Amino acid sequence: MFDIVIPTIGRPSLATLLASLALCRGPRPEHIFVVDDRRKPARPLELGALDADFAARVRILAGPARGPAAARNAGWRASRAAWIAFLDDDVVVKPDWLVALAADLAALPAQVAGSTGIVRVPLPGDRRPTDWERNVAGLARARWITADSAYRRSELLATGGFDERFPRAYREDADLALRVIERGKEIAAGSRSIVHPVRPAPWSISVRLQAGNADDVLMDALHGRGWRERAGAPRGAFRSHALGVMTAALTIVAAGAGFSSVAALLAAAWLAQTAAFAWRRIAPGPRTRVEVCGLIVTSFAIPFAAVYHRLRGLAARRGLLRDRARAPRPIASAVLFDRDGTLIVDVPDNADPARVTPMPAARGALARLRDAGVATAVITNQSGVALGRLRSQDVKAINERAESLLGPLGPILVCAHGPEAGCTCRKPAPGLIIAAARALGVSPRDCVVIGDIGADVEAARAAGARAILVATPVTRPEEIAAAPLVASDLDAAVTAVLGGAA
């Protein structure tokens, strides 16, 4: 039912997470994909002591070392499960997490594409939390945090998964969720929970975190300025940071121009702004000498770091938007094939299984789709039945022979009506496509129809699916001209599907 994907950079906490998973009650996943995203692994990952059954389910994948978004993509693409659950390598699951996950995912309606868990961040009970601890505690309020989330694999295929242009563990979760919701799907709040401990961090961590301002620029470009409200993301203090940097810059300009009194006033204003910002961070904390000193120093640095990264993001925005290699590439959840002239050579009104011959590249194209976990089905008009030239059992025998030669084809849906019957299933009507999508549990708009004539393309359009025409000698020139995408053969068509070009 589900697999688990855990991207890691080799933290010791990975072994703690795996140990907590191994002790969980409930149904175990078939696979736990641990994506080793270290740039230069010097030694094997520390997995800890695991029981034999659990250890057999763990698969280590070499990650691309381009950040958690790319690592998660590598993990879910290796899975064939209907649901993919994502965990971060620095969390710990509760003993009933697997039970709760299965309950959260069971019988979710088709419009629900994802499920999120509850994140709990333990804070000290004997003192006030530090600035860093309060920062981590904010994860508990994040709406779609990937520290504990699950998505249908079909939805990850349809959206292309995580956007690898987000290089940090920041905003890539909100970006995916917004794209899912923009497709008309929902993300449900689950009942399962994890613990996210506060890991040690250097006193300067708050300055380093300002790199996320560059990711906010990309979010603005991808989702518009209103994305924060839709994502429930707080606006933050960038405006006040920009004002502080502007005040400091004006101070330098005024001093350089010889306006010493103006420069003194501006310097006083800048110091007041910085002091107010520092106090907002110091007041809720333990106010130890080390904490206060660190917050004072970083309060001077944070505004400049925030503005620098925002400008860096603006400078890189155009290049990122044009970066198709790292942008998410939606892949169809299912490919629906026409039969005659597409998968097998068209022999009109054929009732003899011995005359069934696969089209060139059909075997390899189907194998590539199976390897990618893309579902398939066949949709075929067989009006010869209505016209008395074929029997239903003849059509069934040809289908069985085609499957014996090509491998599993998925559901095979047949319209046996004649051209004048006025049915809703005969292509170019959309009925066969809608029925095939329903049989596969996906939406027609997440399907690609591959056929050899205009009726296949028109049926796809009528159902809201995408279409690829693989032209043959019987394909008319006007059908080729009207097709949205024309492939030279089935292999090229599948390449377009897997590359998201359809």
Among 72, 59, 57, 61, which Cα is nearest to 27's?
Answer: 57
Please give the sequence-ordered ranges of beta strands (E in DSSP) within 48-133, or none if there are none: 58-62, 83-87, 92-93, 112-120
User: Helix (H, G, I), strand (E, B), or coil: what is residue 350?
Assistant: coil
Half-sphere exposure of 414 (CA within 13 A, CB side): 18
pLDDT score of 501: 53
| Domains, the chain, ordered by start | 2-200 (3.90.550.10), 334-498 (3.40.50.1000)
**322 vs 338: CA distance, rounded Å:** 35
- Distance of alpha carbon 487 from alpha carbon 501, whole angstroms: 11
Residue 315 pLDDT more than 90? yes
User: Which residue, 402, 401, 343, 408, is CA-closest to 374?
Assistant: 408
Look at the block and give the residue holding tokens 């994890």. 194
331 has pLDDT over 90: no
Model pTM? Answer: 0.83
Q: Each residue of 126-154: pLDDT tens digit?
A: 999 999 999 999 999 999 999 999 999 98
- Catalytic (active site) residue 36: no
Instruction: Give per-residue pLDDT as tens, 348-400.
Output: 999 999 999 999 999 999 999 998 889 999 999 999 999 999 999 999 999 99
How far apart CA 65 and CA 72 sit, in angstroms, is 11
- pLDDT per position as a tens digit, 456-475: 999 999 999 999 999 999 99
Q: Which helix (H) or strand (E) holds 448?
A: strand 447-451
Q: Which residues are CB-contacts of 293 (< 8 A; sequence separation ≥ 6)?
A: none
Residue identified by tokens 């810059």 is: 249
Residue 340 a catalytic site member? yes
Strand partners, 84: 3, 151
The stretch 9-25 carries a mean pLDDT of 96
- 486 pLDDT more than 80: yes
| Tens-place pLDDT, residues 19-59 | 999 999 999 999 999 999 999 888 999 999 999 999 999 99
- Among 163, 173, 338, 452, the active-site one is 338
Reference 460, options 494, 437, 439; nearest CA is 437
Cα(238)–Cα(92) distance, integer angstroms: 33
Residue 502 predicted with pLDDT over 50: no
CA distance 27 to 137: 30
Tell me which of 90, 148, 340, 446 is the catalytic residue.
Answer: 340
Higher pLDDT, 18 or 441: 18
Cβ neighbours of 258 (radius 10 Å): 8
| Cα of 151 vs its chain's centroid, Å | 8
Q: Return d(Cα 107, Cα 110) in angstroms, integer.
A: 9
Q: Assign 3-class secondary structure to 244-269.
A: HHHHHHHHHHHHHCCCHHHHHHHHHH
Residues ≥6 apart with Cβ < 8 Å to 28: 53, 54, 57, 98
Q: Give the whole-angstrom CA distance, residue 133 versus residue 141.
A: 14
Contacts of 461 (CB under 8 A, 6+ apart): 467
Q: In angstroms, rounded to a whole number, what is the distance separating the alpha carbons of residues 448 and 237? A: 45
**Beta bridge mates, 116:** 149, 189
Give the pLDDT score at 221: 96
Quick one: residue 162, left, alpha or beta (phi over 0 = left, psi -120 to 50 = alpha)?
A: beta
Per-residue model confidence as pLDDT tens digits over 157-193? 989 999 999 999 999 999 999 999 999 999 999 999 9
Q: How wide is the angle at C-alpha 219 spanned by C-alphas 165 and 75, nearest 5°? A: 40
83: enclosing H helix or E strand: strand 83-87
Helix axes 212-223, 289-321, angle to 10 degrees: 40
